[in-house]
Structure 1
Amino acid sequence: MTAPHTAGEPFWFLGGQARVLVPSRATGGSISVMEFTDAAGHAPPLHVHDDEEEVWIVLDGKVTFFVGDQKFDLEPGQAAHGPRGVAHSYLVRSKSARLATVFSPASVEDWFVANGTPVSSVDKAPAAFDIGAIIASAEAYRVRVAGPPPTE
């Protein structure tokens, strides 16, 4: 897959759009900030980041976050925290949702970008992706799948 060349350019990731808002190189690796825009029903597999803390801020839409054995139903302006080492995921409950996600320390953004496909002006649907290849590449970033995507 071909990754975008600069921060801010949108790319497809797991059927939704993502972009890097604040790259790790701008913060000396202390944090990075990404934006994710996903359609109704979108849910990544339950997964664990061994190195990063993660904070999700709902910008638009309704999203349920699953963190360990907790569940948080959030709307715009609300946030949730995913501690490192704790399985987490989310489920979009509205027609679409837009999230800002802060990772600390930074570096996992490189995994998202490396597995993304640039969005073109002619795209009418998300780019196809190989979930097996994405999962296999996650090990290098100390991200591991802990279960299937959550459902209501």
Structure 2
Amino acid sequence: MSFFQAHEAVVLGPGEGTNFHVLGELITVLVSGTQTNGAFTQYAATSPAGGGTPLHTHHNEDEAFYVLEGVFEVQCGEETIRAEAGAFVFAPRGIPHKLTNLGPGSGKRLGIVSPAGFEGFWEEISQLPTPPDRDTLKALATKYRLEIHAGEG
């Protein structure tokens, strides 16, 4: 990764950041844990029509996102909502969540993960063949204390 050193200002122009292709999504890391002394990672994500995330649970990080464009169906715990541009979702660690882009085009969101470190998952998975085999994905998820709920949601 070509991230800056800690304690340096981060200023990015449009389209800048570190891009990772993760299970059909484009994840752009805007500021990494290295840059925030491990406090958080800020990212932008683009989901294709019908794309999104599987039902999953972070056991180490809280995650929040703000919908910039499109319409997503978001499941967070027992609640499922329709999240349009301007909607905000906070998924504390330990709460299963997923999102699906309902629109005919790409959906975009701005997210934050705290504490930082989960960007390592995105970097590692982006280097695997697409789609990654189930055992490799499971091992990588375990490394990052991520539970992917197979066959659910």
TM range (shorter): 0.7 to 0.9
Whole-Å Cα distance in 2 between the matches of residues 149 and 99 of structure 1?
23
Question: Across the two proteins, how many residue pairs are aligned to each other?
Answer: 138
- Is 1:112–2:133 an aligned residue pair? no
The one-letter code matched in structure 2 to 1:134 is: L
Q: Secondary structure at the match of 2:141?
A: helix
Q: TM-score, normalised by structure 1?
A: 0.83
Structure 2 counterpart of 1:101: 111
Pick from 37, 56, 59: which aligns with 2:68?
Answer: 59
Whole-Å Cα distance in 1 between the matches of residues 122 and 152 of structure 2?
17
Structure 1 counterpart of 2:131: 129
The one-letter code matched in structure 1 to 2:132 is: D
Query: Equivalent pairs: percent with the same residue?
Result: 27
Structure 2 counterpart of 1:71: 80
Q: TM-score, normalised by structure 2?
A: 0.82
Residue pairs, 1:13-24, within 5 angstroms: 13-24=22-33
The one-letter code matched in structure 1 to 2:117 is: S
Pick from 136, 139, 151: which aligns with 1:148?
Answer: 151
Q: Which runs of 5+ in 1 are unaligned?
A: 118-126
Question: Greater relative contact order (Cα 8 A, min sep 6): structure 1 or 2?
Answer: 1
Pairwise CA RMSD: 1.8
Maintained 8 Å contact 1:44/1:149: no
Pick from 2, 11, 24: which aligns with 1:6?
Answer: 2
Structure 2 counterpart of 1:91: 100
Q: Which runs of 5+ in 2 are unaligned?
A: 4-16
- How much does 1:47 deviate? 0.7
Q: Where in structure 1 do 4 or more consecutive aligned residues deviate above 4 Å?
A: none
